[in-house]
Amino acid sequence: MPFNIITGDITKVSADAIVNAANSSLLGGGGVDGAIHRGAGSGLLDECRTLGGCKTGQAKVTKGYKLPCKYIIHTVGPVWQGGEKGESELLRSCYDNSLELAKQKGCESIAFPLISSGVYGYPKDKALQVAVNSIREFLKDNDMDVTMVLYTKSTFTMDGGLFKSIRDYISTNRDQPAAAKANSFMLGAAKACGAKGSAPGMRMAAKETTYMEMAEECACEPAQSLDQFVMSHDESFSQSLLRLIDESGMSDVQTYRKANIDRKLFSKIRSDVNYRPKKQTVIAFALALELDLEGTGKLLAKAGYTLSDSLKFDLIVKYFIMHKNYDVFEINQALFAFDQSLIGC
């Protein structure tokens, strides 16, 4: 996917370019800087000696040497001094300049550490937000796979209030008791038949009543024949998606970039009327199109999926849609915090 968050060792990540959180001398140091120099070998230090250092917020590029990348982009992050010394602007420049250098070198993929969040003391949640804002803006106009590599999960933090709100929503809505689910089913069946819970023949209070019995008692005459039903529901996922994009007024490019979807995958969907996407891909497009829960459910159904209150991933997605927050980048941060798969291809 165009933007991804993972945990691991950045020196082991295969990408066209990896970013080094360097010091101004570019001659190596501790943390990520030291690990990259050790992994690349002595040739990296020899080349860095020719670069004349680097100013805070700027970036310079070298070859990748023994690392699994073509290039190493060295950038110098700011030291945290309370947030009133232009730290956010300098940190933003680190990401902006690194992405621009990668683009100039023709890179299709780049991996970042969380710059300045180690010994330089930049608060991790604030550092991540600066990173995401820069990457989001870059990907609006550019096709590149960008990966944020966190050394451990403890490196990641998100807004405590938002985390608690999502956690409470999951706790309230996940895994309802069987009796509550049965009651919900029966009430829904009653509505479908135009009946009230107290109507004759509706054994709403009978504990032994099964779902199948309830459905049989409330069976309504079909409004359409089977042939008519199939004919009215024969729009594929691909056809439905392309129609929704046209109706939204967005271009294809705007849509797949907003959805955090790779251009090549979108081309496959467009060219294959019977393409079967992953569930995360369908949800990505639903968010990009800013569909409500009903619209999201309809698009998912075209690919054979549904949103379930038994799945934490689905509940998190529902939480954001209900709050009319369709920002895939922010939603992916929440999914990462709850150890869920991210949205995109």
Distance in Å from the first CA to the final CA of the chain: 5
Check: CB of residue 111 under 8 Å from CB of residue 147.
Answer: yes
Contacts 24+ apart (CB under 8 A), 247-251: 248/289, 248/290, 250/288, 250/289
Q: List Cα–Cα distances, 155 to 14, 125, 129, 290, in angstroms.
A: 21, 9, 13, 31
Nearest partner of 236 among 244, 226, 227, judged by Cα: 244
33 has catalytic annotation: yes
Question: What distance in Å separates the CA atoms of residue 169 and residue 221, rounded to the nearest whole number?
Answer: 38
Rg (CA), the chain: 25
Pairing between strand 59-63 and 3-7? unpaired
Q: How far apart are CA 118 and CA 31, in angstroms?
A: 8
CA pair distance 341, 293, nearest whole angstrom = 20
User: In whole angstroms, what is the distance from residue 73 CA to residue 44 CA?
Assistant: 11
Structure tokens, 143: 């096709």
Q: Choosing from 9, 16, 33, 227, which is the catalytic residue? A: 33
Beta carbons of 49 and 74 less than 8 angstroms apart: no
Give helix 237-248 / helix 293-302 axis angle, nearest 10°: 140
**Rounded to whole angstroms, how far apart are CA atoms 248 and 255?**
9
Lateral strand order in the sheet of 3-7: 3-7, 145-150, 109-112, 17-22, 71-76, 59-63
Closest by Cα among 335, 338, 332 to 135: 332
| Residue 76 host element (H or E) | strand 71-76
Identify residue 22 by its one-letter amino acid code: A
Tell me the catalytic residues: 33
